[in-house]
Structure 1
Amino acid sequence: MRFPGRLSAAIEVLTDVEQRKRPVSEALKAWGINNRFAGAGDRAAIGNLVYDALRRRASHAIAMGSDSPRALVLAVALRDWAETPESLNAAFASDSHAPVPLSEEETKGATADLAAAPAAIRADVPEWLAPSLERAFGADWIGEGEAMTGRPSLDLRVNALKAAPEKVMKSLARFAPEPAAIAPFGLTMPAGPRDARTPNVTTDEGYLKGWFEVQDQGSQIVAALAGAREGEQVLDLCAGAGGKTLALAATMGNSGQIFAYDSDRARLAPIYDRLKRNGVRNAQVRAPNDGALDDLVGKMDRVVVDAPCTGTGTWRRRPDTKWKLTPELLAQRQSEQAALLVEAARYLKSGGTLVYITCSILPEENDDQITAFRAAHPEFTSVDIAGAWRSALITDLPAGLATQAGGLCLTPRRTRTDGFYVHMLRKA
């Protein structure tokens, strides 16, 4: 496919997303099945166009004077991919699969100045979230929003139970991985421009042998900060597919015991194969049955709560969720998080540590939850986050990452990671 055809396909996919209210990944998969002539390069380019359009949906719509799928996709070509109205119209004229030529308003959109646009437009966030983001980041909140519109890197965590970073880098040399900036066992491959394809590392021999896992560096950092130690009894209360369980097992050197639990069987299902492939021997999966964790009450050295959240920290990877988020969904997540904190406290023994994690950047899901929990449970005090950082990552905590309540918030702008929050509480 030539570029005009890819633009038409992206418009078609984005129209499908909006009309059928389906996730982008599903719409792209359906398009690929219905258009098997398209090669891997075509599918990658179309996916990049669609995701880029959604990452900057608000600012692109203002620039183009429309939020239609056509306007958004053309905005990506003109404002992100360095095309010009002249280059597009020339390409359209010689391709029967091309969109119709640009209108006068669309041509103006290529160079529209958004300096005077409302703050939420420049940050590319829903307007109703602006006060929350300003409360979280102060005067930097617009820049934080803008950083959320970039493409994410592909990050890997080397499995210390089976390999060293040098071994994995050699195995993946064709993709030119680089050491991660912060995570000690992290490797990264920065996102490319325009139609660049994301490396398919899961077909590599090293992945199949359990040498590494695909995991954002931010997730690796908060797992390391959890501070699990050899010989401890650890409960991963919201284990999901097991990404953090695997990281904790490596940190613990396969000693002690990790109890991996999730209330959703479907989310938990992949963990069994992943544990086997990674060579993890100290994890016990607890399925969601009545009384599944009763024998652990008051016995855990550490309880990790990777709480369900709005996922605002993953907007680079799932930009469609940014525009679907509602105050009602946020309130629902807050209720779930508050209940999980109370539940987690039951399993800790005296002197144990509760590790609260979200992939959110909203204070309502982060500092506010911890403040409310501590007010109701005075036997819990915050662990010094700077000391935890030094202990886990052997460096000093970078300025600006600590939150007012004593937690830590990672963001694309500050740490070049997904957005993550972590706070550790010690039981007296």
Structure 2
Amino acid sequence: MRLPGRIAAAIDVLAEIEDRHRPASEALKDWGLSHRYAGSGDRSAVGDLVYDALRRRASIAFRMGEETPRALALGTAVFEWGETAEKLNQMFSEDRHAPEAIRESECERLESASEEGAPDWVRADVPQWAAASFEAAFGEAWVEEAAALGSRPPLDLRVNLLKTDRDKVAGQLSRFDVAPTRFSPVGLRIAAVAGARRNANVTADEAYRRGRVEVQDEASQLAALMAASACAEIAGEAAQMLDLCAGGGGKTLALSAAQGNRGQVFAHDVNRSRLAPIYERLKRAEARNVQVRAPGEGALADLEGRMDLVLVDAPCSGSGTWRRRPDAKWRMRADALDARMGEQDTVLAEAARYVKPGGRLVYVTCSLFATENEDRAAAFTAAQPEFSRIDPAPLWEKVTGAAPPRWTAPGSLTLTPASTATDGFFFAAFARG
């Protein structure tokens, strides 16, 4: 397929997402299954067109004067990929798989439209309801911070120190143009590519298959490393840790490696299907100090009051990951936050039961909304007076060797695409008296 056919496919997928309210990943997967003639390069390019259109949906729709799948796909090809209306029309005339020719009114928009006069939420490329939440979190800088969530994300890898070191893996992956991450001492980054260039497929590489690296955003790596550092201050190598919302095990693996396979890391999640990938990942990484506790009555009863560290990666809006899941920001509604905040309060209260006197509790989210972050941390200390906040700045400095990031408060820090070039992430730590 050439670009005209890929644009036509992107229009179809965007229509499927809009009309049937489907996640982009599912719509793209079904398109690939029903178009088996399309090669991996075609599928990747169609996916990039769809995701880029969703990342910049509000601003592209404003510039095009309409929010149809066709307008979004054409706008993406021109505004984001650098094509021109004239060139596209020429290609369309030569390709039987192309969409209909670009109309004169569309050409005018593609050639001259700008974001001048657009509302702030349009320039930020977020749902209108989310503007207040971003402004509450970032003040006058909120448009800049939110707009950064519309960029393509890099691919970050965490080097598994149980098997190798960063320099060796960097050499093995040199063909992917990897570079050390800015802050994480165990991270490597493959920069985001522009336009129609294919992204790296690291999971097919020997380094990944042999467990030398894991795909993990730098912010998530840093959260685990700071949690481990907070725990090391009180427990050393024999630390007992609980990853209470372990999911697929990314932070569990990072904690295991940070401990050098010493001590004990317990991994638990209330959702058995989310926990399922952890078993193969533990085997591949050769993480031997991890014990998985599957959901069930009494699964954690013997851990109450015994943990040096409990890590809570709470269920949240995921607003900090909208670069990677841009369709999620348009599906989400404001009232969904209320349910999430209730879940966050519940899981924090549950986590407190497992922290021993003198132990640490770390609360993280991949959200950028204060209602899910600072407000929940404040509500927790109000409800649990035996817990006090820990200043995260020394933990950050110890792990990274750098000054604290821009959005660091006395008891928490926030990482963002605009300020740290990571996913959006919130970190708060507490000590139990």
TM-score class, shorter-chain normalisation, is over 0.9
Runs of 4+ with deviation above 3 angstroms? none
Between 151-160 and 164-173, report the one with greater CA deviation: 164-173
1:312 to 286, 299, 319: 319
SS at match of 2:381: helix
Distance across 2 between alignment mates of 1:120 and 1:79: 18
SS at match of 1:355: strand
> 2:126 corresponds to which residue?
125
Distance across 2 between alignment mates of 1:61 and 1:113: 11
1:86-165 alignment runs, 5 A limit: 86-110=86-110, 111-165=112-166
Q: Structure 2 counterpart of 1:288, which letter?
A: P
Distance across 1 between alignment mates of 2:219 and 2:116: 31
CA contact (8 A) 1:45 1:197 kept: yes
CA contact (8 A) 1:64 1:108 kept: no
The count of corresponding residues between Structure 1 and Structure 2 is 426
Distance across 1 between alignment mates of 2:45 and 2:6: 7
1:164-175 alignment runs, 5 A limit: 164-175=165-176
Q: Structure 1 counterpart of 2:64, which letter?
A: M
Distance across 1 between alignment mates of 2:123 and 2:292: 45
1:343-362 alignment runs, 5 A limit: 343-362=350-369
Q: Percent identity?
A: 53
> 1:292 corresponds to which residue?
299
SS at match of 2:99: coil
Distance across 1 between alignment mates of 2:23 and 2:224: 28
> 1:379 corresponds to which residue?
386
Between 221-230 and 311-320, report the one with greater CA deviation: 221-230
User: Could you list the per-position Cα deviations for residues 293-318 of structure 1 after superposition, in whole angstroms to 9, with x for gaps in the alignment?
Assistant: 11111111110000000100110000
User: Could you list the per-position Cα deviations for residues 55-77 of structure 1 after superposition, in whole angstroms to 9, with x for gaps in the alignment?
Assistant: 01111111111111000000001
Distance across 1 between alignment mates of 2:51 and 2:223: 27
User: Could you list the per-position Cα deviations for residues 152-174 of structure 1 after superposition, in whole angstroms to 9, with x for gaps in the alignment?
Assistant: 00110000000111111122121
Distance across 2 between alignment mates of 1:51 and 1:184: 30
> 1:204 corresponds to which residue?
205
> 1:401 corresponds to which residue?
407
Q: Structure 2 counterpart of 1:195, which letter?
A: A
TM-score of the superposed pair, with normalisation by structure 2:
0.97
Distance across 2 between alignment mates of 1:297 and 1:133: 37
> 2:420 corresponds to which residue?
415
> 2:178 corresponds to which residue?
177
Q: Structure 1 counterpart of 2:259, which letter?
A: M
> 1:303 corresponds to which residue?
310
CA RMSD of aligned residues (A): 1.1
Residue 341 of structure 2 corresponds to residue 334 of structure 1: yes
1:186-197 alignment runs, 5 A limit: 186-197=187-198
CA contact (8 A) 2:55 2:150 kept: yes
Distance across 1 between alignment mates of 2:132 and 2:186: 36
User: Could you list the per-position Cα deviations for residues 380-401 of structure 1 after superposition, in whole angstroms to 9, with x for gaps in the alignment?
Assistant: 1111111111222233213x12
Shift of residue 354, structure 1, vs aligned partner:
0.5
Distance across 2 between alignment mates of 1:411 and 1:236: 23
Distance across 2 between alignment mates of 1:23 and 1:131: 25
> 1:427 corresponds to which residue?
432
> 1:252 corresponds to which residue?
259
Distance across 2 between alignment mates of 1:390 and 1:416: 17
Shift of residue 244, structure 1, vs aligned partner:
0.1
Distance across 1 between alignment mates of 2:403 and 2:114: 40
Distance across 2 between alignment mates of 1:266 and 1:305: 18
Unpaired segments ≥5 residues, structure 2: none
CA contact (8 A) 1:41 1:195 kept: no
Unpaired segments ≥5 residues, structure 1: none
Shift of residue 204, structure 1, vs aligned partner:
1.2
Distance across 2 between alignment mates of 1:254 and 1:151: 35
SS at match of 1:260: strand
TM-score of the superposed pair, with normalisation by structure 1:
0.98
> 1:72 corresponds to which residue?
72
Residue 225 of structure 2 corresponds to residue 224 of structure 1: yes
Q: Structure 1 counterpart of 2:161, which letter?
A: A
